[in-house]
Chains A and B, each alone.
Chain A
């Protein structure tokens, strides 16, 4: 059984890193890279080799109502592939950047704890266990946001900590209500138990989880912490936070809970539709006004998460294909954009777009990959963002929601406008920059090129033959709704 290794490997690496590297960071980098690479291989095997299967692993051999079980289906494997891929590129990007911040091996330990927490959330089939892993990931994320050690970074981490504890309290109350109603903590058994309960109770549990995990997702009314936290963190961590953390802890759990546990109650899906639409428009409007490049990107995360929520609120197979596909695409291009911002910050010593200039001669890799990422996020063909947004818009029209389709189109145009601003002020326009104060090293370039290539490669997932083996199994698991509980219980 491979499922527990997705938690064991990163956790063991986190323990080992301080032991193998006392002063130098070399061994820490190697160990974390090796374990993340192992995770990429394992998750790739799980996703492509065992696709369509639902693996259930019982911790200590206890059966469901009592013990904790790990459940790995196509959806979990998909998330694992995404987390491992972005984590790998983030680690490749990190060494030089973190050295500049006076970093040491503890950064890599915290990074691996973060990965362990996210993987744990994705593979666990137990509600309370999910909460524990969520706390692990959040604690590591908090420390990493403040890693630079300057006052505003601590302030952002503190703000994040307050919001995280509010959401943790809401989620914990939700777990308590679900537990008191069903006497069990397994997601599958809760799903079975809640079917027999009054609708008011389902409403209450759903409401608490929606607010709790909504805060983690940073959709519009719950977004206040995100721009600070994601812009203050070191660039590779911003990429992890915006690229995968808000998805593994937020979107993944929302989809898993509202589809596979509650069976997609229409009222909540309506709310997701509206939240998504509001996030798309307001997120991008707030982004356009920003001059700090990382802050601008952080606001775009809110907007892009809006697309995913809107698509999952449609409750159609095509909508879900759009949501899952956009989740992957956003992870790829948003991480790349944060790496670009990190490289620019290293080379120019500023994050303010007004102080930047034309760097396309001096930093060809950074400006080239940034163009690709900007076109992807704005939905320009042939890059991946175009296809997932197209699927979402078509799905909205098919579901009889032309207004939401219109919102998605407008959001996309505004995104294009704001990234033209980034390109004009930050990379291509203005007077040429003559001297760089820092060097963009090979690791950074490798990470950026890797993700830029992925921006093109992932657009192939829309080809029917490839889609059938990649996205379709994931969507099948989600659209089974509460039938999924049956499959888990029978294993």
Chain B
């Protein structure tokens, strides 16, 4: 219980750091740490596949991409942020924590624990056979992402 709480507190802490830190590199690393902790939480909750994906893709691959991008772009140009952003996020975060503390416990008790589903096959069976269309959908999402990147970074005539 203590380990779990520590992991969850760490998760929230590093997620907040990822947002409030001004240094992009530090922010990217905080995000990686947060998702690493989330991956460990998944493992401890008997969801090894989710944990593996979380750590390998989110903590690993995406962090590498972030750091690569930050390293390749100019660090000199600072974009000015409006002042409102600086105090809006902490304010919302605090409000969220308060509401969370007041409401969530009561609500969560109302939900029955997920009954262990009848064994219908291995993880692979369910993913590839039962949820085929979702996989096709995921492929389409990636396809849309690729088209989006290609379309938005295309060479264009100066029209404006």
Contacts and interface: CB of A to CB of B under 8 A. Distances in A.
A201 B112 CA distance: 10
A147 B144 contact: no
Given A68-B130, A129-B134, A142-B148, A183 B114 contact: yes
Secondary structure of the B contact surface, majority rule: helix
Given A177-B111, A200-B110, A143 B148 contact: yes
Contacts of B141: 132, 135-136, 139
Contacts of A181: 111-112
A43 to B, nearest CB: 19
Given A102-B157, A133-B137, A181-B111, A143 B144 contact: yes
A143 B152 contact: yes
Nearest to B135: A132
B132 A68 contact: yes
Given A129-B137, A133-B137, A201-B111, A113 B144 contact: yes
A147 B152 contact: yes
A128 interface: yes
B107 interface: yes
Given A66-B120, A117-B140, A180-B111, A129 B150 contact: no
B144 A139 contact: yes
Contact of B147 (A62, A109, A177): A109
Interface string A85-102: 000000000000000111
Contact of B144 (A70, A102, A140, A201): A140
Interface string B110-139: 111111010010000010011111101110
B154 interface: yes
How extensive is the interface on chain A, given as a class?
A: 35 or more
Interface centre among B107, B115, B152 (most CB of A within 10 A): B152
A348 to B, nearest CB: 15
A14 B147 contact: yes
A102 B156 contact: yes
A136 B139 CA distance: 9
Contact of A60 (B112, B113, B129, B157): B129
Contacts of A24: none
Contacts of A59: 132-133
B160 interface: yes
A178 to B, nearest CB: 10
A100 B159 CA distance: 7
Contacts of B120: 66
B145 A139 contact: yes
Given A60-B132, A113-B140, A128-B134, A101 B159 contact: yes
Interface of B: 107, 110-115, 117, 120, 126, 129-134, 136-138, 140-141, 143-145, 147-148, 150-152, 154, 156-157, 159-160
Interface of A: 11, 14-15, 18, 59-60, 62, 66-68, 70, 100-102, 104, 106-107, 109-110, 113, 116-117, 120, 124, 126, 128-129, 132-133, 135-136, 139-140, 142-143, 146-150, 177, 179-181, 183, 198, 200-201, 204
10 contacts: A60-B129, A62-B130, A106-B151, A107-B151, A110-B144, A120-B137, A124-B133, A128-B131, A129-B134, A136-B144
Given A11-B140, A67-B129, 6 more contacts: A67-B130, A110-B144, A113-B143, A132-B137, A132-B141, A140-B147
